[in-house]
């Protein structure tokens, strides 16, 4: 149930010494109105309210009411991707680049918050058999092997990283990949 707000009184001067008992509007700079929740569009169908310190949301498409963190999916999980690559022939031992002409061993991706690497994918122009090795702080964590194809992926990873960790990616094995695009899918908890 949502409180419908109609002020009982509104102060008519800046110092709150006079009262208008037939108000027509509330002035945020002068008046304070407390309520349990806020209904939008003059309807209970769209609602934001607090419940024991947890913000809740409901509208005509989200029923029953859910916490705002649940709207992100997976109980408050955020996902993003980072991309590195190499323009030209990526021979064995080539570090991929998060920014052009900056190999990831010299300019690694620095993790901004605790997270988990959940998936990786790669594509390139030439058919080749090779591996893409992912390192965290210079320590080997995972190798994606691509056999006689120009693409590959792994979607069931669970590699934890913490804020400040440095990620780099290097080619290994026989390699003749051209114009490589490598994507890491990162997941954080909100």
DSSP letter at 96?
A: P
**Across the strands, what pairs with 148?**
none
User: How far is the C-alpha of 103 from the C-alpha of 113, rounded, in Å?
Assistant: 22
Looking at residue 89, its pLDDT comes to: 86
Higher pLDDT, 20 or 158: 158
User: What are phi and psi for residue 71, nearest 5 degrees?
Assistant: -70, -20
Looking at residue 63, its pLDDT comes to: 58
Q: What is the pLDDT of residues 107-120, one digit of tens each?
A: 999 999 999 999 99
Q: What is the pLDDT of residues 37-95, one digit of tens each?
A: 565 555 656 666 677 766 676 666 655 666 655 555 555 567 889 999 998 888 888 99
Lowest-confidence segment of 3-7, 27-31, 80-84, 169-173 by average pLDDT: 3-7
Contact 116, 166 (CB under 8 A): no
Q: What is the pLDDT of residues 134-181, one digit of tens each?
A: 999 999 999 998 876 788 899 999 999 999 999 999 998 766 778 889
Nearest one of 77, 108, 103 to 90, comparing CA atoms: 103
- Domains of the chain: residue spans and CATH: 10-72 (no CATH), 77-189 (2.60.120.40)
User: DSSP states of 1-55 as a string?
Assistant: --PPP--S-EE-STTS-SEESS-S---TTT-----SEEEETTSTTEEEEEETTEE
pTM of the model: 0.61
Tokens 């498409």 belong to residue: 61
């Amino acid at each position: 149930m949502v409180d419908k707000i109609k002020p009982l009184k509104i102060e008519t001067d800046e110092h709150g010494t006079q009262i208008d008992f037939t108000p027509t509007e509330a002035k945020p700079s002068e008046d304070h109105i407390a309520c349990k929740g806020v209904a939008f569009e003059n309807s209970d169908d769209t609602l934001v309210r607090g419940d024991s310190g947890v913000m809740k949301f409901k509208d005509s498409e989200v029923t029953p009411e859910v916490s705002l963190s649940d709207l992100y999916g997976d109980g408050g999980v955020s996902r993003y991707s980072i991309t590195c690559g190499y323009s030209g022939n990526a021979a064995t031992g080539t570090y991929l680049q998060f920014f052009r002409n900056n190999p990831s061993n010299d300019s690694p991706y620095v993790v901004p918050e605790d997270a988990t690497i959940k998936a990786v994918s790669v594509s390139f122009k030439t058919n080749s058999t090779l591996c893409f090795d992912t390192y965290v702080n210079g320590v080997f964590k995972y190798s994606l092997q691509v056999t006689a194809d120009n693409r590959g992926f792994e979607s069931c990873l669970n590699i934890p990283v913490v804020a400040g960790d440095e990620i780099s990616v290097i080619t290994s094995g026989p390699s003749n990949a051209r114009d490589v695009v490598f994507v890491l899918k990162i997941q954080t908890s909100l």
